[in-house]
Amino acid sequence: MDQAQITDLAITGMTCSACVARIEKVLARVPGVESAAVNLATERARVAGSADPEAIIRAIGKAGFGATPIQAGAPPADTAPAEHQEVLRLIVSAVLTAPLLIGMAIPSLMLLGWAQFALATPVQFILGARFYRAGWNAARALSGNMDLLVALGTSAAWGLSTWLWLTTHHAHALYFESSAVLITFVLFGKWLEGRARRQTASAIKALMRLRPETARLRKADGEHAVPIDQVRTGDIVIVRAGERIPVDGRVIEGQAAVDCAMLTGESLPTEAIAGTKVAAGTIDLDGMLAIQATAVGAETVLARIVRLVEDAQASKAPIQRLADRVSAVFVPVVLCIALLTFIGWLLVGDAETAIMHAVAVLVIACPCALGLATPTAIMVGTGAAARHGILIRDAAALEQTHAVTTIVFDKTGTLTIGTPKLTEVVAATGGDRQSILAIAASLQGHSEHSLARATLDAAAQATLSPATEFRTIPGRGVIGAVQSVRYALGNRSLMRAESIDIAGLSAAAAELEKTGHTVSFLAELSPAKRALGVLAYSDQVKPEAGEAIRRLHALGVQTIMLTGDNAGAAAAIAEPLRIGRVVAGMQPDGKSGEIHRLRDSGEIVAMVGDGINDAPALAAADIGFAMATGSDVAMETAGITLMRGNLLLVPDAIDISRRTWRKIQEGLFWAFAYNILGIPLAALGYLSPMIAGAAMALSSVSVVGNALLLRRWRSKSGAFTPP
């Protein structure tokens, strides 16, 4: 099946979650659209399917909104001009409204009716024109939004005041200040809300700033500075001390310390020499480097990180569906309540009182807070996590992580450093240790396994012969021929499968396993079948592993280690770390099967692995944590990618997920509570239109402001503090 085309759009004209629901409804009717997600906080839409982008834009335009295509990884648009216009409108509105408020507070300074009309009318129809435009578009589409409520409420107050002025000529009985103050408050609230929302994009902007605009290319006639977009794979890029590296590549000349802090979170610089891989966005601290580009533009690790953060911030959490369902019926319900309020008060009082209480109902109702509670918290939470090297794939992963009850760890490369060393070679009776080492190294010459690398390092001085008929037995070992003799190198399971008697080596192997060694048996398969010896490997536990396990237990998460290693080596690692349960001797498919059993028993399971060898287990878990380096492809598949190998990022990821989840819950609670309490109070006459308008304006600001508190979150790993 062909992969669905993804179209990203910047949307203008949205004011509340009702607008989001309307755009998504419109997009669902466009032929070829498979799915559409609109995010109020980012003011973006992501559409999947085969639909023509122009047809999508036209559909959004007919709904009364603007849409502009954007490229994935493109920097956020410059919002300074729009913000300047917002401030200017707010200032003018406040200046025109102030004399009306003074007259209300000090009756002796009350303006004449014509003066009140002259001040309130431009506020109503010029500065408040945005509410009429958006409200009309909503009404035309047989929908509703916050702007429609504001336009109806303020128009009612302005219209009543105009009628009374023309018929009674009594300045003290007018309500022009109510409509003007309402519009001023709403403009102020929208400005505060927009300002807060713009702050949530700080993570993307910080990542974008890591990408240099130019690169220095080495050509036959010298060095030339060119725009970064002109660099191609294979080009030689020159980077001097103090400059950011513009591409992913391999150092071919020079030596320098490279600061990777803003990309991977590593606090200490790494040494780059010929052959070292480097990533775009990192900083050359003290030397000149010549780098051959292996990835440029959208293919660099930095660009992939930006896309991942963008995707997470653009996605919708499952909990948002509740707010979307409420928003779809919110405005019609509010209009009905306002009508009933008007009729009720008209029956017990006069028309003026009835209109003012109905206006209060219209203006206090605010679907904005409902629409902003979830996406704003997700934006800030994923941004804070990204700054500390925790890349969260999407909102669903963030929501799932907070509920994790069990963490499953791989051993090698996850709990351990992942660079084992060959520490002991035990030969069978009559055997020779050096020949055993040479045969084992020859067998593993083509293997990328960490134990193979350790064997080859130990046999660096030995004379090796190329292996033929080589094949890998997943989870067991390797088989191959060296100088026409077939050998097997692997664990007990492989020896049993090949009917090799290892009784003479079992005691030595068991003793090595008790001290935490991983053992491999070398056996001759033909012309004779006999065990030749045992190779023992040791791998150091990561220094922060114990603290990470302790913090997970403090969070109420149980820990399990699954490993293909022997029980003795597994226990030697797990017992000092106080891991709750150990399952040793696991095949790759066995790991995923164990995770399925845990899930079937009701556990919410996270798997922590290297993102490559543990792919089946990572896919089987509710959420996968990939321990990645800057060059790993795990970012594209894992639910959460940890850009450092520091295990303390695992409890950190759960912590930021739980904090973000709490902010979502708090935002939705206050959004619902605000409307549930505010609308009845307004209907019963306990809130004036001005107080209702102020409360409505501040409701969205409070929800966004509460989410912004997540920006204070800091990783407890102690390895990196972002600038």
Strand partners of residue 561: 409, 582
CB count within 10 Å of CB 268 equals: 10
Q: Is 410 a catalytic residue?
A: yes
User: Judging by beta carbons within 10 Å of its beta carbon (0-12, 13-18, 19+), is residue 131 exposed, middle or buried?
Assistant: buried
**Is the dihedral angle over the CA atoms 268, 271, 276, 280 positive or is it negative?**
positive
Q: Which H/E stretch holds residue 69?
A: strand 66-69
| Cβ–Cβ under 8 Å, residues 502 and 531 | yes
Half-sphere exposure of 189 toward its Cβ, with a 13 Å CA cutoff?
A: 29
Query: Which phi and psi (to 5°) does residue 215 adopt?
Result: -140, 150
How far is Cα 684 from Cα 235, in angstroms, rounded to an integer? 73
Q: Which H/E stretch holds residue 558?
A: strand 558-562
* β-strand pairing of 581-583 with 236-239: unpaired
How far is Cα 691 from Cα 583, in angstroms, rounded to an integer? 63
Gap between the terminal Cα atoms of the chain? 44
- Joined together, the tokens standing for residue 478 give 């390797």
How far is Cα 256 from Cα 378, in angstroms, rounded to an integer? 38
Query: Which phi and psi (to 5°) does residue 308 adopt?
Result: -65, -45
- Joined together, the tokens standing for residue 372 give 């902003």
How far is Cα 531 from Cα 522, in angstroms, rounded to an integer? 6
How far is Cα 653 from Cα 638, in angstroms, rounded to an integer? 13
How far is Cα 710 from Cα 114, in angstroms, rounded to an integer? 50
Q: What is the DSSP letter of 229?
A: G
Question: Considering just the CA atoms, what is the radius of gyration of the chain in Å?
Answer: 33
How far is Cα 122 from Cα 126, in angstroms, rounded to an integer? 5
Strand order in the sheet with 640-642: 390-392, 640-642, 623-627, 605-609, 406-409, 558-562, 581-583
User: Judging by beta carbons within 10 Å of its beta carbon (0-12, 13-18, 19+), is residue 608 exposed, middle or buried?
Assistant: buried
CB count within 10 Å of CB 183 equals: 30
How would you label 441-475 residue by residue, b for 16+ Cβ within 10 Å and e otherwise? bbbbbebeebbbbbbbebbeeeebbebeebebbeb
Active-site residue (options: 410, 539, 614, 622): 410
Using DSSP, state whether 111 is helix, strand or coil. coil
Dump the DSSP string for 579-634: -SEEE-S--HHHHHHHHHHHHHTT--EEEEE-SSTTHHHHHHSSEEEEE--TT-GG
Dump the DSSP string for 156-193: HHHHHHHHHHHHH--GGG--HHHHHHHHHHHHHHHHHH
| Cβ–Cβ under 8 Å, residues 29 and 51 | no
| Cβ–Cβ under 8 Å, residues 710 and 703 | no
How far is Cα 698 from Cα 364, in angstroms, rounded to an integer? 10
How far is Cα 308 from Cα 72, in angstroms, rounded to an integer? 10
Q: Among all residues, which ones are annotated catalytic?
A: 410
